[in-house]
Amino acid sequence: MPHSSVSHLTQALADGAAHVIDLTQPLSETTPVLVLPEPFANTPHLSRRTLSKFDDAGPAWAWDVLELGEHTGTHLDAPIHWITGREREDVASIPPERLVGPIRVIDKTSEVASDPGYLLTAADLDAHEAEFGHVSPGSWILFRTGWGARATDEAAFLNAGKSGPVTPGPDVSGARWLAEHPHVVGFGVETVGIDAGAAGGFDPPFPVHNFLLGAGRYGLTQLANLEALPAVGGMLVVAPLKLVGGTGSPSRVLAFI
Ligand code: MN
């Protein structure tokens, strides 16, 4: 019998005591992307062009060329994505140890059901630690809102009205809490971005981007299946492209529970 810690995990996966949960939304031409107002540039949806498909250009093989943004679909935000983190890590420089870590799930699904613009506060995060214990080193905080149920309907997912998008996210106090907590490595959400829809009007604007990326930590967006995770006890694996100079990358995101 194997005795190493990793062998215990592989054995637990083999005998069904542990499971892999896919936290990634499907990536296709219909995957929703962020929409910024004029005069800002916007990221494209995924598109692809066929190089060959079992034809004269490649009789036995099929392959495509992709166009997509660094921030299209389920993706990681690297510190250099934001002006406050511009001297910090690109995607390729993130130590792999930081891409694997304990998961904390903070669940505000019922609050968001009645208030889609719900703001996660420092008091909410303190209450989570009071209930479930202190966040352990290397942790990723995942904000469960139920928003993933909208992921196949771009209008419902972006939820933009005349006064801008209405989606949940941290307020300034919550953003500061995440960036200053000594054990938080990253923050993940079900929505299109790590900040609330209204965050362009906060002081500072987009405080999660501002504080978290400025502190050399990471964001994760458009996560799926958070309802399958326990509040404490899961392990996250984030696999972005090792993109040199990359400000972000579409990522496969897995959890072990
Ligand atoms: Mn992003």
Task: Calculate how far, in angstroms, residue 91's C-alpha sits from the geometric centre of ligand 1.
Answer: 12
Distance of alpha carbon 9 from its chain centroid, rounded?
A: 25
Task: Calculate how far, in angstroms, residue 193's C-alpha sits from the geometric centre of ligand 1.
Answer: 6
88 phi, psi to nearest 5 deg: -100, -155
Q: Considering the candidates 81, 128, 181, 209, report the single residue annotated as catalytic.
A: 81
pLDDT in the model for residue 256 = 98
How confident is the model over 177-204, as a mean pLDDT?
Answer: 98
Q: What percentage of the chain carries pLDDT values higher than 70? A: 99
Task: Calculate how far, in angstroms, residue 228's C-alpha sits from the geometric centre of ligand 1.
Answer: 24
pLDDT in the model for residue 1 = 55
What are the pLDDT digits (tens) for 121-137?
999 999 999 999 999 99
CA distance 189 to 145: 8
66 phi, psi to nearest 5 deg: -105, 145
Residue 81 designated active-site: yes
3-state DSSP call for residue 201? helix
pLDDT in the model for residue 3 = 72
Does residue 70 contact residue 58 with C-beta atoms inside 8 Å? no
How confident is the model over 15-34, as a mean pLDDT?
Answer: 97
Does residue 108 contact residue 167 with C-beta atoms inside 8 Å? no
- The DSSP bridge pattern shows strands 75-77 and 248-256 to be antiparallel
Task: Calculate how far, in angstroms, residue 196's C-alpha sits from the geometric centre of ligand 1.
Answer: 13
Domain ranges for the chain: 14-42+69-256
The first and second tokens of residue 243, run together, are 């993109």
248 phi, psi to nearest 5 deg: -175, 175
The first and second tokens of residue 114, run together, are 């009645």
Task: State in Å, rounded, how far the first CA of the chain is from the last one.
Answer: 22
Which run of H or of E encompasses 13?
A: helix 5-14
Task: Calculate how far, in angstroms, residue 75's C-alpha sits from the geometric centre of ligand 1.
Answer: 7
pLDDT in the model for residue 162 = 87
Alpha helices, H only, 26-169 = 109-114, 122-132, 154-158
Q: What is the overall mean pLDDT for the chain?
A: 97
Inform me whether the pLDDT recorded for 243 exceeds 90. Answer: yes
Task: Calculate how far, in angstroms, residue 216's C-alpha sits from the geometric centre of ligand 1.
Answer: 15
Tokens 């019998």, located at residue:
1
Q: Which of 120, 128, 176, 171 is closest to 145 using CA atoms?
A: 120
Task: Calculate how far, in angstroms, residue 74's C-alpha sits from the geometric centre of ligand 1.
Answer: 9
Amino acid at 71: H
pLDDT in the model for residue 2 = 56
Q: Flag the least confident range among 4-8, 86-90, 188-192, 242-246.
A: 4-8
Task: Calculate how far, in angstroms, residue 195's C-alpha sits from the geometric centre of ligand 1.
Answer: 10
* Architecture in CATH for domain 14-42+69-256: 3-Layer(bba) Sandwich (3.50)
What are the pLDDT digits (tens) for 134-177?
999 999 999 999 999 999 999 999 999 888 999 999 999 999 99
pLDDT in the model for residue 36 = 92
What are the pLDDT digits (tens) for 58-114?
999 999 999 999 999 999 999 999 999 999 999 999 999 999 999 999 999 999 999
What are the pLDDT digits (tens) for 204-216?
999 999 999 999 9
Inform me whether the pLDDT recorded for 257 exceeds 70. Answer: yes
CA distance 67 to 44: 8
Task: Calculate how far, in angstroms, residue 149's C-alpha sits from the geometric centre of ligand 1.
Answer: 20
CA atoms within 13 A on the CB side of 172: 6
- The DSSP bridge pattern shows strands 100-107 and 75-77 to be unpaired
The first and second tokens of residue 209, run together, are 């981007």
CA distance 73 to 90: 19
Burial 21-44, CB ≥16 within 10 A → b, else e: bebbbebeeebbbbeeeeeeeeee
Does residue 65 contact residue 96 with C-beta atoms inside 8 Å? no
